[in-house]
Amino acid sequence: MNTQAIPPLSKDAPTVLEMTNISKSFGAVTALVDVSIKLRQGEVLALVGDNGAGKSTLIKILSGFHQPDTGTIVSQGKEVRFASPRDARAQGIETVYQDLALVGDLSVFHNMFLGREYHKRFLGLNLLDNRKMREQAQLYLDTLGITIPSVNSTVDLLSGGQRQCIAVARSIYSSPKILVLDEPLAALGVRESAHVLGLIQNLRQQRQVSVILIVHNYNQIFEVCDRINFLHAGEVALDASTADTSEEELIRIVKSGLGTRAIEAAAAEIRPGLV
Ligand SMILES: Nc1ncnc2c1ncn2[C@@H]1O[C@H](COP(=O)(O)OP(=O)(O)O)[C@@H](O)[C@H]1O
Ligand SMILES: [Mg+2]
């Protein structure tokens, strides 16, 4: 991974996204209650919390997959409503879902250009320009430092970490303003996680793309994030800057109680002013 120290996010970095008082229920199940999150240009925000905390629901609202029951989304200073993932994508919000949405029996380069294939005319026919896609995919993966045996391999033949890298590379390729990664480290080994984290660290260094990184375990991500929001039972229980706190403190806070109140009380005790 890129271990170079990354300067803190500039105080002047503009806010690119504000989700305010978002609530969402599925029938009798309350997934989110008045959740508010803020994201600044170039910031890497980790969204952590137990299974069922509401992390995926929140980002599925951001990516236009679900509509919120209440609350507003302001993107680049304008209030937006996303009726579909296409609307969110048009605003520069790219999401890599937990199931990746790669096509297993297609090659790496076909997956990289899925839905935006290059074509060429040949004898009056409109054909896929495989050579161009192969070359471009190889070039792009090289620039990201992603090594795979061959861009001709079918995705099924790659390891979990390689697949995750391809999915992330594909979403970065579309030059998003906001990149959302839902549990990209789930099921990856140490080395594979380090590679995906390295890609995120590179983005963070450039401070062009803002990233929301959903993780189950935050000990892996402390060094690549600027801020951590801990979601518990559908509420943001803690919003902490990684520069102002430590991994040990967060572990203590999170383990200290099951309810939001208990977490707030524990945080206040450990470090006044943290929450
Ligand atoms: N489509 C759905 N239909 C019904 N319940 C759902 C749906 N999606 C999520 N939930 C429920 O909402 C809650 C939050 O889920 P989720 O956002 O997936 O949590 P996380 O990603 O933090 O594990 C859970 O209780 C889950 O069962
Ligand atoms: Mg989830």
Query: Could you list the pLDDT tens digit for every one of the 275 residues in the chain?
Result: 555 678 889 889 999 999 999 999 999 999 999 999 999 999 999 999 888 899 999 999 999 999 999 999 999 999 999 999 999 999 999 998 876 678 889 999 999 998 889 999 988 899 999 999 999 999 999 888 888 889 999 999 988 888 888 888 888 888 899 999 998 888 778 888 888 898 899 899 999 999 999 987 777 788 899 999 999 888 888 898 988 888 888 777 777 654 455 556 656 665 555 44
Binding site membership of 29 for ligand 1 (Cβ less than 6 Å): yes
In a domain? residue 156: no
One-letter amino acid of 66: H
In a domain? residue 106: no
In a domain? residue 235: yes
**Beta bridge partner(s), residue 135:** none
State which residues form the domain around 202.
Answer: 15-98+178-270
Under a CB-based contact definition with an 8 Å cutoff, are residues 62 and 36 in contact?
Answer: no
Under a CB-based contact definition with an 8 Å cutoff, are residues 62 and 180 in contact?
Answer: yes
**pTM for this structure?**
0.86
Binding site membership of 98 for ligand 1 (Cβ less than 6 Å): no
Q: Which of 57, 213, 217, 230 gets mutated to test ligand 1 (max ligand atoms within 8 A of its CB)?
A: 57
In a domain? residue 67: yes
Binding site membership of 143 for ligand 1 (Cβ less than 6 Å): no
One-letter amino acid of 230: F
Binding site membership of 148 for ligand 1 (Cβ less than 6 Å): no
Q: Both tokens of residue 114?
A: 């899925």
In a domain? residue 126: no
Under a CB-based contact definition with an 8 Å cutoff, are residues 109 and 102 in contact?
Answer: no
Q: What distance in angstroms lies between residue 243's CA and the mean position of ligand 1's atoms?
A: 31
User: What residues contact residue 191 under an 8 Å CB cut-off, 6+ apart?
Assistant: 161
**Beta bridge partner(s), residue 29:** 26
In a domain? residue 164: no
Q: What is the distance between the alpha carbons of residues 177 and 42, in angstroms, rounded to a whole number?
A: 9
Q: What total of structural domains would you count in the chain?
A: 1
- Ligand 1 atom nearest 53 alpha carbon: 22
Residue 48 belongs to a domain with what CATH number?
3.40.50.300
- Helix orientation angle between 130-144 and 160-173, rounded to the nearest 10 degrees: 100
In a domain? residue 66: yes
Residue 4 DSSP one-character state: S
In a domain? residue 196: yes
